[in-house]
Structures are given as C-alpha cells and as structure tokens.
C-alpha cells in the first residue's frame, strides 16, 4: 500500500475516533447522562444489571489474588472495583469517554486503600493504544465494543496482550437473525453501532485466534434485568425527578421500554462471549 494512502487511512481513523469521543462526552455519556444511568444500574455502574450481572459473569473467570485484568470500556469503575475488592486482582481500566474516567477517578479516591491501590484508570482509545505482550491474565469488556467497526483487529490485540491460557470475557449488544424493523435500523444508525448476531460475533473471535469460544445468547437475561430495573426505577421516581427532571425520567423509562420491545421482537440481542488464548 502506498505510504500516502496509509497516512490518509490513519488520519481518517483518528478523525473518526475524535468524533466518537466528542459525541460520547457531549451526548450519551455527558456527566449528567452517566449519573442518570447510575441511578438505574447502581453507583459506579453503567452497564446492564450493574453489580448483579457483574457478580454472575466475573464468577466464571476463576480470578485469583494478584492476577492482572484489563477492563476495556471501564465506565465509572464498577466492575474494576468489584473485581479488586472481591478477588484481590489488579485492574487497569480504559475508557474513551473523558467523563467516565473523571468519575471513575473520583470514586477511586473514596475507596478503601486495598481497592484503591489495585485499580488504575486511563483515558485512552482501545483501538490505537499500546498493548504489552503477554501481560494480562484477563481482558474484560462490558457493552463497549458495539461502537467499534474493526472488531477482529481489536480482538487480535487482546490476544497479543493476554498471557498463554488467559481469558477474554465480553458482553455486547448484538442483533437477531431476522429482517429488522425500521425502528431498530434507525436506532442502530442513530447510535452508529456496529452489531453482529451472537453467532457471528463468536466467529470473529475465532478468526482472531481465540480458542474455546463460547458465544452465549443472554437476551433472556437482559429482558429479566431490564424489567427488574424498570420496577426499581418507578419506585425511586420522586427522588430521581428531584435530582434530575421529569423529562429525564420519562426519557429513561421510554428507553428501557423500547429496549424491551426490540429484544422481544428479536431485533436486539445480548451476547456474552468467553474464550481462551
């Protein structure tokens, strides 16, 4: 490939990342937006189920004290704090959203010393940052890689940075196999998500070189969790409206109801992917 062509691609990729970062910081993951999500997921959590799903998923990793974990798209730190406190592992959390990292750092400052010293957070782009070879025991990511188009390239970087026998665990939004509704197509386009079927996502991990790939469809769990979160949210309506606004409350309620419709219709799916180097 000509050098100028490669340079043009690099510039285009950098501009795309800059635009995504700007969009995340100013829209979906503004500081107010993050705090609204935490009102549902729980403090320090911005992914489905909060500590409930974190506890269930992480229990499958066989973590041991002193292991090193890379948390891609760490959000405000919930999973990192949980793993450090519960299993005594060292966690490096990375996120592209400035507001996420700033909040994670604020929460870290409040943590007990044994957790604080085991968790570090970095503002970085997972698609371009440096990955040390054979350094991590686990790479972990929750509902983040849906933003990334070149997934196989990223997964190869995860493979590179894992120790032999190391584990990868990802939860991510996916889509169903059938022809999708117009509403779902518009939703995906509006968020610029890059989605695959659960099976197709697993195939990408295999092509990247991972072994023992287990692509599990967790859409049913997602539906159960969302119903639980909606029930919880209705009960804290008054407190939430006092802190934010009725408009914010209605926006989130409608968003959860829309997700339930998309999942029930087979448009949207949720995958949990575990595999080994």
Q: What percent of the chain has pLDDT over 70?
A: 90
Q: Break the chain into its structural domains and give their ranges.
A: 3-276
The yes-or-no verdict on residue 276 having pLDDT over 90 is yes
Residues in Cβ contact with 203 at an 8 Å cutoff, skipping those fewer than 6 apart: none
* CA–CA dist 44, 47 (Å, integer): 10
Q: pLDDT (tens digit, 9 = 90+) per residue, 1-16?
A: 455 555 455 555 556 5
The pLDDT of residue 229 is: 94
Query: Does the 3-276 domain belong in CATH 3.40.50.720?
Result: no
The pLDDT of residue 33 is: 87
* CA–CA dist 43, 49 (Å, integer): 12
Encoded tokens for 277: 């180097």
Split at pLDDT 50, 70, 90, the class of 74 is: very high
pTM higher than the cut 0.85: yes
């Amino acid at each position: 490939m000509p050098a100028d062509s490669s340079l043009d691609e690099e510039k285009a990729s950098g501009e795309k990342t800059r635009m995504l970062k700007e969009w995340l910081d100013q829209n979906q993951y503004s500081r107010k937006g993050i705090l609204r999500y935490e009102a549902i997921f729980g403090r320090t959590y911005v992914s489905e189920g909060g500590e409930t799903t974190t506890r269930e998923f992480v229990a499958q990793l066989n973590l041991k004290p002193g292991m090193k974990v890379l948390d891609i798209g760490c959000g405000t730190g919930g999973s990192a704090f949980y793993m450090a406190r519960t299993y005594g592992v060292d966690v490096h959390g990375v996120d592209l959203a400035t507001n996420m990292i700033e909040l994670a750092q604020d929460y870290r400052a409040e943590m007990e010393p044994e957790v604080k010293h085991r968790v570090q957070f970095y503002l970085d782009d997972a698609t371009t940052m440096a990955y040390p070879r054979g350094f991590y025991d686990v790479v972990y990511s929750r509902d983040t890689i849906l933003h990334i188009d070149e997934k196989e390239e990223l997964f190869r970087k995860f493979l590179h940075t894992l120790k032999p026998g190391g584990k990868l665990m990802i939860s991510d939004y996916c889509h169903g196999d059938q022809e999708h509704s117009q509403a779902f197509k518009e939703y995906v386009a509006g968020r610029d998500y890059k989605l695959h079927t659960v099976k197709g996502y697993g195939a990408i991990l295999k092509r990247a070189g991972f072994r023992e790939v287990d692509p599990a469809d967790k859409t049913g769990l997602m539906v159960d969790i969302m119903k639980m979160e909606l029930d919880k949210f209705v009960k804290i309506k008054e407190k939430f409206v006092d802190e934010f606004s009725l408009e914010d409350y209605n926006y989130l309620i409608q968003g959860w109801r829309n997700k339930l419709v998309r999942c029930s219709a087979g448009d949207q799916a949720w995958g949990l992917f575990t595999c080994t180097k």
